[in-house]
Amino acid sequence: MIIVPDRSRTATDYTPELTISARETLLYIATTLGDLLDQIVLVGGLVPSLIVKESSDVPIHVGTMDVDLGLAFGLLEARRYTEVSSRLRKAGFAPDVNREGNPTRQRWVIEVDGKPPGKVDFLIQPPNPESKGGEQQDLEADFAAIITPGLHLAFQDLVTVSIDGHIIKGETAKRDIQVCGPGAYIILKALAVRGRNEPKDSYDLQHVVRFFGKSLKDVVARLVPLLNDPVTQEALSLLAEDFKSPGSIGPSRAAEFLGTPEDTDLKADIVGAVRDLLRKTGFKA
């Protein structure tokens, strides 16, 4: 079995092999869930590589180690999440375990010989105003999801991406998958930067801000329709604070993740891009 490292603070652990495994896992899940896909949206670290087009002017995104799937309330209200877990079990997935050997019900895994384990984390929007981000919401005895404020915006700002290739079990397939758009992605990542100590969140955020579409106008166009949502306003306030200057936590952690913590030009570029984004949305700190 190939051992996958824990979440790393640098880009060096994010190998192409791990991202290929994540994409193959996502495509396998898509073939498994089929008619439930309209109630599911891809968020997390795999998104930038799917919505940002590579070119000679755009650095390749490092990818991800796992798949993050947001579940719509429609699945919960109709109790169709039981179909999600049932189909995944039949497809070979099971709850993962942590270092202590205890089940992690919000993360499921599939083991395929010769490949890194295919892992998927499940997320839901807060079911009520008292719900706290980062906590688990139990769905079944061995199936849970992480409460994620702002997830509803990912269902408003969607990009449909067609993925064509191998699934993790070896067959080939092609499926259309709902992927979080750049506006909602920036909001979710701004909240993540503030909510946890993961330099990759800052890296992911700046990659989408700087490289999505033909120019920053394309990012702004996706963000503006979300501006009236209170979660968006909160996220933009946090973004303004955490990316205020090259020494702020956002650009500093992005540079740290890339292994270049002293790269002042990079940090200045990130700050400039975020500042322009905020100005063009009309946000005032």
What separation in angstroms does the CA of 266 have from each of 25, 182, 207, 243? 33, 21, 12, 13
Interval 174-212: pLDDT, tens: 999 999 999 999 999 999 999 887 999 999 999 999 999
Identify the band that residue 4 occupies on the pLDDT scale cut at 50, 70 and 90: very low
Interval 97-140: pLDDT, tens: 888 888 889 999 999 988 889 999 999 999 888 888 888 998 98
Interval 233-252: pLDDT, tens: 999 999 999 999 999 999 99
Q: Are 204 and 45 a contacting pair, CB within 8 Å?
A: yes
Q: Give the pLDDT of residue 285.
A: 66
Q: Give the pLDDT of residue 1.
A: 41
pTM, two decimals, is: 0.93
Amino acid at 145: A
